[in-house]
Homo-oligomer: A and B are copies of this chain.
Amino acid sequence: MSLVVQKYGGSSVSDAEALKRVARRVADTVREGNDVVVTVSAMGDTTDELIDLAQEVSDSPDPREMDILLTAGERISMALLAMAIGSEGIPAQAFTGPQAGVITTEHHGRARIIDVAPGRLQKALADGKVAIVAGFQGLNQETQDVTTLGRGGSDTTAVALAAALGADVCEIYTDVDGVFSADPRIVPAARKLDRITYEEMLDMAASGAKVLMPRCVEYARRFTVPIHVRSSFSGLEGTWVVGETEEGDEMEDPIIAGVAHDKSEAKITVTGVPDVPGSAARLFEAVARADVNIDMIVQNVSATNTGVTDISFTLPSAQIPDAIAAIEADSGVIGFEALTTDDTIGKISLIGAGMRSSSGVSAKFFAALRDAGVNIEMITTSDIRISVVTRAEQLEKAVRAVHTAFELDSIEGEAVVYGGTGR
């Protein structure tokens, strides 16, 4: 008998029919002899509707009250799912995040899980019940207030529960069949991956793959929780996200896991920065104070002793105004000639744990881009990833070229089901 944690997103529980379909799947998992804990998101667009209501009554809703409001969505879905599972003849009990023992920091709207005390869930399991847990929420123990976990919170809840309960697997149900070697909407020949390591998945997620959020994968990696990403519609075997393979297996593993892309970033170039120690520090201190998330950074070698240099960095497009304001406010201490912004960039990343031990991967990557006529504007590398910035309009061509060059295209041209991006 295994202990299975399952997570269903909002699109899997969008209405009564969808809830009943999920209930049947949960009941089937129980009938197969498993103990089951289910994490569930709010139904369909509930969260967006609640946010709209809040904005109708207040220009700047209090974050504590906002969390009380938003957690009502999961309250509804978890209770209905428990009832629907009960109708399948399987006893089920619903628990809020606080009831399930999910303890978080105090940051309303973006709390982080500190600890999970799963006593009530264990009791429910021992009583032969399915435990349904509201995703995306927890308890600030000091104030006894409910908190929400922010983006990727429901997946993280599922992984945290799986870790605390010592579950055999954490199944993340979504509207795609798993993790793909590239976005099938851009690369029709993309293959569903049977297995991917935590490290690869982290880099895929950080590089634009939307099926899992990095924080959820990071949590799973830290506690070695096997994640199984699969479709709530097809019922097919999906993608397993697991730890590094044993050395003996490694030879059979592909060198490259996949190609990720991201169009959501922009580039800021600061020109004429004094080429003296501390310039970069002053620039990025200013940016950090504005809570801006920097991704890639490139500093040009200063040419012919002009005494000044240019620094470019990428960041989420939405944070451009904050970053510009922060840099201009500190222009006196930083010292620079001009600021330019460019939000028509794209980023393509090649990810694979196997590239650690393989030479020539970078060369092959750059050659593929050159052959496709794609110009490279910035480059960063880690030991399992190479990312380059290109023009946005060249991005899709670049993804297809690299996917083909590394022989990732499915040979049989098998049909791939891809319904959109996961939450």
Contact = CB atoms under 8 A, between A and B. Distances in A.
Interface stretch (A81-89, A351-359, A386-394): A81-89
B72 A84 contact: no
Given A59-B87, A72-B72, A99-B144, A65 B53 contact: no
Contacts of A282: none
Interface string A27-68: 000000000000000000000001001101111011011101
Interface in A109-146: 120, 144
B94 A57 contact: no
Contacts of A58: 83-84, 86-87
A13 to B, nearest CB: 10
Nearest to A68: B79
A53 B144 contact: no
Count copies of this chain in the complex: 2
A157 interface: no
A397 interface: no
A231 interface: no
A83 B54 CA distance: 7
Contacts of A92: 65
A57 B83 contact: yes
A17 to B, nearest CB: 8
A294 interface: no
Interface of A: 16, 19-20, 23, 50, 53-54, 56-59, 61-62, 64-66, 68-69, 71-73, 75-76, 78-84, 86-87, 92-94, 96, 99, 120, 144
Contact of A65 (B50, B65, B69, B86): B86
A71 B66 contact: no
A314 to B, nearest CB: 36
A72 to B, nearest CB: 4
Contacts of A81: 57
Contacts of A75: 68-69, 71-72, 75
Given A19-B57, A56-B16, A57-B83, A50 B76 contact: yes
Given A65-B94, A69-B75, 11 more contacts: A16-B57, A19-B57, A50-B76, A54-B80, A54-B83, A57-B87, A62-B82, A65-B82, A65-B93, A68-B75, A69-B83
A19 B68 CA distance: 17
Given A16-B56, A57-B84, A86-B61, A79 B99 contact: no
A80 B57 contact: yes
Contacts of A83: 54, 57-58, 61-62, 65-66, 69
A147 to B, nearest CB: 13
Nearest to A19: B57
A76 to B, nearest CB: 5
Contacts of A50: 76
- Most B CB atoms within 10 A — which of A72, A76, A96? A76
Nearest to A20: B57
A79 B87 contact: no
A346 B92 CA distance: 45
Contact of A72 (B57, B76, B99): B76
20 contacts: A16-B53, A16-B56, A16-B57, A19-B57, A57-B81, A57-B87, A58-B83, A58-B84, A59-B87, A61-B83, A62-B82, A65-B83, A65-B93, A68-B75, A68-B82, A69-B75, A69-B79, A69-B80, A72-B76, A75-B75
A87 B61 CA distance: 8
A64 B57 CA distance: 32
Contacts of A71: 75
A79 B51 CA distance: 11
Contacts of A76: 50, 53, 69, 72
A146 to B, nearest CB: 9
- Most B CB atoms within 10 A — which of A81, A83, A87, A96? A83
